[in-house]
Amino acid sequence: MAQETFTVEEINPKHGFARLRPDAGPGMLHTALYPDPEFTHAPPFQLRQGDRVSGIRRGQTVSEVAWVTRVEPPWEEVERVAELLALLERWEIRVPFEARVLAEHAWRESREDPLRDELQAQLPTFFDLDGAHPFEDPSLLERLSAAMQPYLPGFSVQPVQGQPAVRVEPGAVEIIAGVGSWDIPQPTFAPMIAEVNARLAAAQAPVRWVPTREDWMLAPPALAALLQKHGLLEGTAIPA
């Protein structure tokens, strides 16, 4: 079947489709809001009104859709991302992407998020979500102790034998674990994180363990507030 070219006339994010007007012939056709990456050879963006695409007509739908040209993201969105990147540089966080590229990811609700990925790579997290489950991670407390040395010299945390608790040094303070579950482990560690954050505050350290949707991130509170403002750090109801 022959490839044809189309213009995106309308998108329907709620139902996940776009309406296309063919260059040749009357009528409107439908296609998926996110073209199949096998045919786009581009990041997994959603279609936007004004895009020009190619594809194969099958009845009232179009398949094997690939971009011919994509409309540019709004200039305001590019400016917003550029300002954010400038602010992040003040925190010595440098993102190796142009503002326009990141703006397009955001505007087209990309299924990839290079900005969030870069932030997660540069800011330490408490869990190793790509490795072992927190309940089975033998290095979790060791990593926490190591991460605290620049701010709390001599800090260490060790499990208490035979009890659901940890001992925090200096001071031999025992912290009882919270009640978490395999699917939601954060409450198990929340009391310990609260103790660590209290010690960081007492030492006037510049960072805290900031709660995210599934984890904690070690960052200055002002930086965390900036990330939350821009939707890059999803908070949680679990106290920290």
Going from N- to C-terminal start, the domains of the chain cover 3-69, 72-121, 123-240
- CA 22 vs CA 26, 55, 125, 175, 236: distances in Å: 7, 10, 49, 66, 46
- List the structure tokens of 69: 């040209």
Specify whether the CB–CB gap between 4 and 24 falls below 8 A: yes
Residue 103 has pLDDT above 90, yes or no: yes
For helices 75-90 and 99-107, give the axis angle rounded to 10 degrees.
120
Specify whether the CB–CB gap between 110 and 43 falls below 8 A: yes
Indicate the length of the chain as a whole number: 240
Q: Could you report the per-residue pLDDT of 183-223, keeping only the tens digit for each?
A: 999 999 999 999 999 999 999 999 999 988 788 989 998 99
Q: Could you report the per-residue pLDDT of 77-86, keeping only the tens digit for each?
A: 999 999 999 9
User: Element (H or E) spanning 7, and its range?
Assistant: strand 3-12
CATH of domain 3-69: 2.40.50.140
- List the structure tokens of 222: 């002002």
Tell whether pTM > 0.85: no
- CA 3 vs CA 29, 49, 57, 154: distances in Å: 14, 20, 8, 67
